[in-house]
Amino acid sequence: MNRESRNLVLGVVLGLVLGGVSAIGYSQVAVYAQQVAPEVFTADDLGFRMTGRRGDTPVGQLVVRVDGEWKAVEFSHGVKLATK
């Protein structure tokens, strides 16, 4: 087998492998949080607002009490979610 044929076969095999991996990744089921009524678990002026559950894991956001209202927290430094 000459070099050009070998490169063509290698390219086709690599394309099939990448296509298969892509199909497997696309077919994975996303696990969404089960929605619940928002509830704040507090310690004076700091709390956690639970808005859902993903299995046994609570899903929500950190909140602080400002002028008697619970406000969502935004951090000035740190990791930002890719979805924002």
Burial label for 5, CB within 10 Å (0-12, 13-18, 19+), is exposed
Q: Which residues of the chain have pLDDT under 70?
A: 31, 79-81, 84
Q: Based on the domain organization, do 43 and 61 belong to the same domain?
A: yes
Please state the domain count of the chain: 2
Report helix, strand and coil shares of the chain as percent, to nearest 5: 30, 40, 30
Q: Based on the domain organization, do 25 and 46 belong to the same domain?
A: no
pLDDT of residue 44: 79
Question: Going edge to edge, which strands form the sheet with 69-72?
Answer: 34-43, 46-54, 57-66, 69-72
Domain presence at residue 84: no
Q: Is the pTM of this model over 0.85?
A: no
Q: Based on the domain organization, do 26 and 45 belong to the same domain?
A: no
pLDDT of residue 38: 73
